[in-house]
């Protein structure tokens, strides 16, 4: 070998490859997969952003954003520059979405890597596994400026909305408030639902329910109608007439119909369905779900957590089929497609959320995970496995019973083949009608053991929960997977919305802000307008539109609306809810305020009187030890418990006294 050849070989061995990711956790995981010729560093998120002190958008010169280095990131950038100067190749491996693409673009600028001679590449992977990371390094690309521009368009429009309207809220309502393009729509949805509930007038209706007894078996039947037609019963008189017509009379079994009913397996999780199911079954908030899922992703346990697709890779489908066949048998393996787009709002940029390795069962890795990580991983694992399994089949029986012109029906079902239910079962799956109707045969004559009229009233629509609000936002095309949790977090953090149990309620402050927004900025809080904005941002990501054109169409109308509102709106006073608790320092009736940790009592005499107290919510029961009032309290982590209001009494319980017996009531809280 020549001297030049030996020198080149030694240089190649010394050559360094720098991989830059966003978080230390991801850095640690990726380091395990790459050899000693790779250095892996973390940017700790964004390194450049718009300034906080000003709008940071030059509205007079083409809406050019004025990016600055984020405070406190100077030393980090200097360290990354030093590593980059020693590297032969630099791989920007931030998250595989628009935000991640923008972070890579900002990194390239902040580190001075724009020289075409530098070997700077963009790599992405949907899961942090050795195969995915090494495959990404084998197939690098340049930064996708369409994705960057879509992020810039969103960031600039959101900044313009926030920095134009927020000062108006300070001026007309109170300081410290904020408006946002997505959060304002979400707030309107909560306020509209609350108004709908408040305006709801219950309507009376009745049902006639019957009981059939046969030996030890009891069957429930319901009144259907008359002369073959379904009939609604609005009054007690109508219902009682039917009761009188059939009680103590023979009833004819006119029809017994047996059918199989198929219950299809669910699709694997998207971001929104994961948030919804984690809220329902694990009692996790949207923010908790995303924080835990982020950790699982960075540790290489699950695929990327921000997705609106139900698509699954062919390799993952094949692995699932093999696993299911081995664990449960060939009869449980589904051969349905791996799925693709499921709606006009779906970007389909990433796979659905699934475990990176299906053989890593929850039981196998339980000891390696924190409790909430295990619970969420188990939910994701079970949902994915179930999604590749065959449907469940129920043997369903429906019976039609007649007396003269009156018709009653009874239904029952029995699980015939469990299919995906062997792995993944929701509460509603256990609510199937399980009553046995096998003794009822066509042509039989029976008598009801009991027939009674039941009075009901129509119910108002339910308050939004975090889960149902996420579903509504997704259905209306508002926001994207990455925005649901921070949007709800902002509404709660600003005290525009309060959460009682799982229900979301608009506060007085939230209603005042919404009233101003609806009156002065109807387009911004219009769901259709906001959904169209999302569609146009998608067009930018696909290279079909220019982001500055979108901003230039949007800003002039907004500026005009802000000026008009400033000139025409008067000061809006938000009334605090007054309580019967007397301030022990000045004697005023204390009012309810909202803070970062929920409601508390404050003296309305602020700033002269700064007295505050915790808000003690009564549970409506008496202490089993001393007879005092039981109040609701919460731990620092937000878990509800019950305690006696008397300071001398040590009663404390996770369970409401009387809810699960004396033994549960006496259990002490940790």
Q: Which residue bears the tokens 């521009």? A: 149
pLDDT band at 9 (very low <50, low <70, confident <90, very high): very low
For residue 338, what pLDDT is reported? 67
Over its C-alpha atoms, the chain yields an Rg (Å, rounded) of: 31
Q: What architecture is domain 161-199+466-568? A: Orthogonal Bundle (1.10)
Asked whether the predicted pLDDT for residue 75 surpasses 90, the reply is: yes
For residue 39, what pLDDT is reported? 94
- Separation of alpha carbons 326 and 445, rounded Å: 50
- Chain segment 607-618, per-residue pLDDT in tens: 899 999 887 777
Say which CATH topology domain 204-264+392-457 has. Answer: Topoisomerase I; domain 3 (2.70.20)
Please check whether residue 121 is in contact with residue 142, taking contact to mean a CB–CB distance below 8 angstroms.
yes
For residue 11, what pLDDT is reported? 40
| 484 noted as active-site residue | no
- Chain segment 555-572, per-residue pLDDT in tens: 999 999 999 999 999 988
Asked whether the predicted pLDDT for residue 398 surpasses 50, the reply is: yes
Does this chain's domain 3-143 share its CATH topology with 204-264+392-457?
A: no
- Separation of alpha carbons 584 and 576, rounded Å: 19
How many Å from the N-terminal Cα to the C-terminal Cα in the chain? 73
> How is residue 108 written in tokens?
């390239």
Domain boundaries, the chain: 3-143, 161-199+466-568, 204-264+392-457, 271-387, 577-665
DSSP string, 613-626: EE--EEEEEE-TTT
For residue 621, what pLDDT is reported? 86
Q: Please, how many CA atoms are within 13 Å of residue 29, restricted to the half-sphere of its CB?
A: 23
Question: Mean pLDDT across the stretch 127-146?
Answer: 95
- Chain segment 286-323, per-residue pLDDT in tens: 999 999 999 999 999 999 999 999 999 999 999 999 99
The angle subtended at Cα 108 by Cα 103 and Cα 111, nearest 5°, is 115
Q: What architecture is domain 3-143? A: 3-Layer(aba) Sandwich (3.40)
- Chain segment 507-518, per-residue pLDDT in tens: 889 999 999 999
42 in helix, strand or coil?
strand
Asked whether the predicted pLDDT for residue 664 surpasses 60, the reply is: no
Spatial CA neighbour of 427 closest among 534, 280, 635? 280
* Residues with Cβ within 8 Å of residue 43, at least 6 apart in sequence: 20, 21, 22, 76, 80, 94, 103, 107
Spatial CA neighbour of 92 closest among 113, 130, 135, 123? 123
Of the given ranges (35-44, 444-453, 550-559, 611-620), which has the lowest mean pLDDT? 611-620
- Chain segment 517-532, per-residue pLDDT in tens: 999 999 999 999 999 9
For residue 59, what pLDDT is reported? 94
Spatial CA neighbour of 185 closest among 524, 551, 489, 558? 524
* Residues with Cβ within 8 Å of residue 662, at least 6 apart in sequence: 624
Is 620 or 60 the better-scoring residue by pLDDT? 60
pLDDT band at 666 (very low <50, low <70, confident <90, very high): very low
For residue 659, what pLDDT is reported? 47
Spatial CA neighbour of 257 closest among 527, 441, 435? 441
DSSP string, 356-370: S-TTS-HHHHGGGS-
Question: Mean pLDDT across the stretch 419-424?
Answer: 95
Q: Whole-prediction pTM value?
A: 0.83
Asked whether the predicted pLDDT for residue 96 surpasses 70, the reply is: yes
Asked whether the predicted pLDDT for residue 231 surpasses 90, the reply is: yes
Strands 598-602 and 612-614 turn out to be antiparallel
Q: Please, how many CA atoms are within 13 Å of residue 608, restricted to the half-sphere of its CB?
A: 7
For residue 637, what pLDDT is reported? 52
Asked whether the predicted pLDDT for residue 28 surpasses 60, the reply is: yes
* Residues with Cβ within 8 Å of residue 112, at least 6 apart in sequence: 81
- Chain segment 322-346, per-residue pLDDT in tens: 999 999 999 999 988 766 545 545 5
Question: Mean pLDDT across the stretch 441-450?
Answer: 93
For residue 636, what pLDDT is reported? 55
For residue 427, what pLDDT is reported? 63
Provide the mean pLDDT of the chain: 89
141 DSSP assignment: B
- Chain segment 268-289, per-residue pLDDT in tens: 999 999 999 999 999 999 999 9
Q: Tell me the β-bridge partners of 16.
A: 87
Question: Mean pLDDT across the stretch 598-612?
Answer: 86
For residue 13, what pLDDT is reported? 44
Superfamily of domain 271-387: Topoisomerase I, domain 4 (1.10.290.10)
- Separation of alpha carbons 165 and 55, rounded Å: 11
Is 84 or 627 the better-scoring residue by pLDDT? 84
pLDDT band at 652 (very low <50, low <70, confident <90, very high): confident
Q: Which of 304, 377, 394, 464 is catalytic?
A: 304
For residue 407, what pLDDT is reported? 96
- Separation of alpha carbons 50 and 133, rounded Å: 31
For residue 619, what pLDDT is reported? 79
Asked whether the predicted pLDDT for residue 177 surpasses 80, the reply is: yes
Whether the CA torsion 271, 276, 282, 288 is positive or negative: it is positive
Q: Please, how many CA atoms are within 13 Å of residue 565, restricted to the half-sphere of its CB?
A: 26
Question: Mean pLDDT across the stretch 536-542?
Answer: 95
* Residues with Cβ within 8 Å of residue 124, at least 6 apart in sequence: 93, 95, 96, 100, 136
Is 216 or 223 the better-scoring residue by pLDDT? 223
Torsion from C-alpha of 221, 224, 228, 232, nearest 10 degrees? 170
């Amino acid at each position: 070998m020549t001297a030049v050849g030996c020198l080149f070989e030694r240089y190649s061995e010394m050559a360094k490859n720098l991989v830059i990711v966003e978080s230390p956790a991801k850095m640690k995981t990726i380091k395990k997969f790459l050899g000693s010729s790779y250095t892996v560093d973390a940017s700790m998120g964004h390194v450049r952003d718009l300034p906080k002190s000003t709008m940071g958008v030059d509205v007079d010169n083409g809406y050019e954003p004025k990016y600055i280095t984020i405070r406190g990131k100077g030393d980090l950038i200097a360290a990354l520059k030093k590593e980059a100067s020693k590297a032969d190749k630099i791989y920007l491996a931030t998250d595989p979405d628009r935000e991640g693409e923008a972070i890579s673009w900002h990194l390239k600028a902040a580190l001075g890597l724009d020289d075409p001679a530098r070997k700077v590449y963009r790599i992405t992977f949907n899961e942090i596994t050795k195969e995915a990371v090494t495959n990404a390094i084998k197939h690098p690309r340049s930064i996708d400026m369409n994705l960057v521009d879509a992020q810039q368009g969103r960031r600039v429009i959101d900044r313009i909305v926030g920095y134009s309207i927020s000062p108006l809220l300070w001026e007309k309502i109170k300081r410290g408030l904020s408006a946002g393009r997505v959060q304002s729509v979400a707030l309107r949805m909560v306020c509209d639902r609350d108004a709908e509930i408040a305006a709801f007038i219950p309507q009376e209706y009745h049902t006639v329910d019957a009981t059939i007894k046969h030996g030890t078996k009891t069957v429930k039947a319901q009144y259907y109608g008359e002369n073959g037609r379904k009939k609604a019963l609005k009054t007690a008189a109508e219902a009682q007439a039917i009761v009188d017509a059939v009680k103590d009379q023979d009833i004819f079994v006119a029809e017994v119909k047996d059918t199989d009913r198929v219950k299809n397996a669910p699709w694997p999780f998207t971001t929104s369905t994961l948030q919804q199911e984690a809220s329902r079954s694990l009692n996790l908030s949207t923010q908790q779900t995303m924080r835990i899922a982020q950790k699982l992703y960075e540790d290489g346990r699950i695929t990327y957590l921000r997705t609106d697709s139900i698509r699954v890779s062919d390799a993952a489908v094949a692995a699932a089929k093999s696993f299911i066949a081995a664990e449960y048998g060939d009869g449980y393996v589904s051969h349905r497609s791996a799925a693709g787009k499921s709606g006009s709002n779906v970007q389909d940029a990433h796979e659905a959320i699934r475990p990176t390795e299906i053989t890593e069962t929850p039981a196998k890795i339980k000891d390696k995970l924190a409790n909430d990580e295990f619970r969420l991983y188990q939910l994701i694992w079970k949902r994915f496995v179930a999604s590749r399994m065959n449907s469940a089949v129920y043997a369903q029986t429906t019976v039609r019973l007649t007396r003269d012109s009156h018709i009653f029906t009874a239904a029952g079902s029995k699980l015939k083949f469990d299919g995906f239910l062997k792995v993944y079962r929701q509460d509603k799956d256990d609510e199937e009608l399980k009553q046995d109707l096998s003794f009822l045969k066509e042509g039989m004559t029976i008598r009801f053991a009991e027939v009674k009229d039941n009075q009901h009233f129509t119910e108002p629509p339910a308050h939004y929960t975090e889960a149902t609000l996420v579903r509504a936002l997704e259905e209306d095309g508002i926001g994207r997977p990455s925005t649901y949790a921070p949007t709800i977090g902002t509404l709660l953090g600003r005290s525009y919305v309060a959460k009682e149990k799982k229900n979301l309620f608009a506060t007085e402050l939230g209603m005042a802000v919404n009233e101003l927004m609806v009156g002065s900025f109807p387009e911004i809080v219009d769901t259709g307008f906001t959904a169209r904005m999302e569609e146009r941002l998608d067009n930018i990501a696909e290279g079909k539109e220019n982001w500055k054109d979108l901003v230039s169409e949007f800003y002039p109308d907004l500026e005009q609306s802000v000026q008009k509102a400033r000139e025409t709106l008067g000061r809006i006073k938000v009334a605090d809810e007054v309580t019967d608790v007397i301030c022990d320092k000045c004697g005023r009736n204390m009012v309810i305020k909202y803070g970062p940790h929920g409601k508390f009592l404050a003296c309305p005499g602020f700033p002269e009187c700064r007295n505050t107290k915790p808000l003690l919510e009564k549970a409506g029961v008496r202490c089993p030890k001393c007879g005092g009032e039981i109040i609701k309290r919460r731990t620092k982590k937000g878990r509800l418990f019950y305690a006696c209001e008397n300071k001398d009494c040590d009663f404390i319980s996770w369970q409401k006294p009387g809810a699960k017996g004396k033994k549960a009531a006496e259990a002490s809280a940790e």
